[in-house]
Chain A
Amino acid sequence: MNRDVLVIGGGIAGIQASLDLAEMGFKVSLVERLPSIGGKMSQLDKTFPTNDCAL
């Protein structure tokens, strides 16, 4: 059984899943259609309910 994982989508969910898997020791390939990862969250100014910076 191949133990590598392919994650499709480099937004906040894809990044989190990839990091968790990598930290567990799995080899992860993260595919993202835009030139950088970050997704919609990178376009936000702050996040609710704490008003922390999104980036």
Chain B
Amino acid sequence: MEGELGDFRVAVRKKARYVDEAKCTGCGACAEKCPTATSDAYNLGLANSKAIYRYFAQGIPSTYTIDAAQCRNFQPGKKCGVCAKVCQAGAIDYTQTDQVLEVSAGAIILATGYELFDAGRVPEYGYGRIQNVITALEFERLLSASGPTHGHVYRISDIRLKEEIPELEKSVQKAQRGLERFEKQFGQASGEFFSQYSQGKLTGEDFDKWAEQVKLTKKMEEELGEKKSRAETIEAAHKIAFIQCVGSRDMRFNRYCSGFCCMHAIKEAIIAREHDHEAQVSIFGMDIRAVGKGFEEYRNRGAKEAGLNYIRSRVAEITEDKDLSPVIWYEDTKAREVKAMPVDLVVLATACEPGAGVEMLAQIVGVSLNDFGFIETNPLQPLDTTRKGIFVCGCAQSPMDIPESVAQASSAAARAAQVLSGSGSMRLAS
């Protein structure tokens, strides 16, 4: 980026979608036929997407995009082209390249938002190791009617179990076909053969192979049967624990409070109870920060309507039971006892951190970051960065909830308009 207030010249890389935006109608035929499954980033890996995809169904623009890193057509030696064949609008264009556009502007507004703290950095909570410990954003996806479970809150271990069954069925069918080949070759049923073999009446390499196949097939059939019967008894995750301040208010990671997590935990608890009347929800926090209009009432509503159990505690450790239930070890600060609470699902409220790439962005546009890594502003001029003509709003400036982000965004727009109209003084941040 070059220039200054009133005359910024910014080089922006427009990444190739490999889909012509002017032609794509968003019909989705390409994604339906695409043979490459990918991990769905929007659903945080809880569902699968395709190499040609839309970030989410209602996304604007509705143009599809090809993830070149995953698409077979872009890997050396592989050829696909299915999406181009089925696209009625002829919108697929594998020859597209990234373009560098020069954008000129009088003012710039940074609204790069935030990233969530990686819960795997807190080893005692077991995120990444214990299946049924998830983050709040992952829980939001489970709660969503358009999410991977259509709004049903299941234990992750149960979701995985259900996913394993079709794959296992295919494997069992393949194994059974293997048995049929032997049966045809020797003109005997596998069961009869196996009892003779076990008695030592039949020897030879071929019979050894057949016997192996019989054992393997039986093992797989048993596994399938066991998994199917377990899957039939799957219920919603009734006991849910919300752990606050994961990565926030923590001398090891971020010293600050992330502001909105107590509220979203209460929200998630209320909605979980709406979806499941048997839900038993607990929230473990040092304190509950419900600072805003109607927020204390919301907190009380959580207790009254959702039976939300507020437990004043900083959770020490989460372990895993044999049945894959997470167990929460905590101090009951009222009774002054260490207790263990097994639950179905643990939801971690992870810290709000500066957006990915914000360090590089700050360098490119020439603004300073504060000690916490957010865009530096003067508390009396929270929209102005350390560079004239560049303003900031939302979580890029500091953790804040949606109404605050929206209000600050409108303010930043007004500030930019004020300065560009020549009517406002450009008081520097420092």
Contacts and interface: CB of A to CB of B under 8 A. Distances in A.
A35 B55 contact: yes
Interface string B126-154: 00000000000100110111010001000
A40 B108 CA distance: 22
Contacts of A11: 111-113, 394, 405
A7 B409 CA distance: 10
B376 to A, nearest CB: 16
Given A9-B396, A40-B137, A21 B413 contact: yes
B6 A14 contact: no
Nearest to A41: B402
Q: What interface size band does chain A fall in?
A: 35 or more
Contact of B113 (A9, A16, A29): A9
B55 A34 contact: yes
Q: What interface size band does chain B fall in?
A: 35 or more
A8 B59 contact: no
Contacts of B412: 13, 17
Contacts of A43: 42, 44, 56, 137, 140-141
Interface in A12-54: 12-18, 20-21, 24, 26, 29, 31, 33-49, 51
B56 A1 contact: no
A12 B330 CA distance: 37
B394 A14 contact: yes
A24 to B, nearest CB: 5
A48 to B, nearest CB: 4
B409 A36 contact: no
A8 B112 contact: yes
Interface string B291-316: 01011011000000000000000000
B402 A12 contact: yes
Nearest to A29: B103
Interface string B381-421: 00000000000011110000110011011101110110010
A7 B111 contact: yes
B44 to A, nearest CB: 8
Given A2-B105, A46-B271, A14 B417 contact: no
Contacts of B55: 34-36, 38
Chain B CB within 10 A, most for which of A24, A29, A45: A45
B214 to A, nearest CB: 49
17 contacts: A2-B6, A4-B105, A7-B111, A9-B111, A10-B111, A11-B111, A16-B410, A31-B12, A35-B53, A36-B60, A38-B55, A45-B140, A45-B151, A45-B271, A47-B402, A49-B263, A55-B58
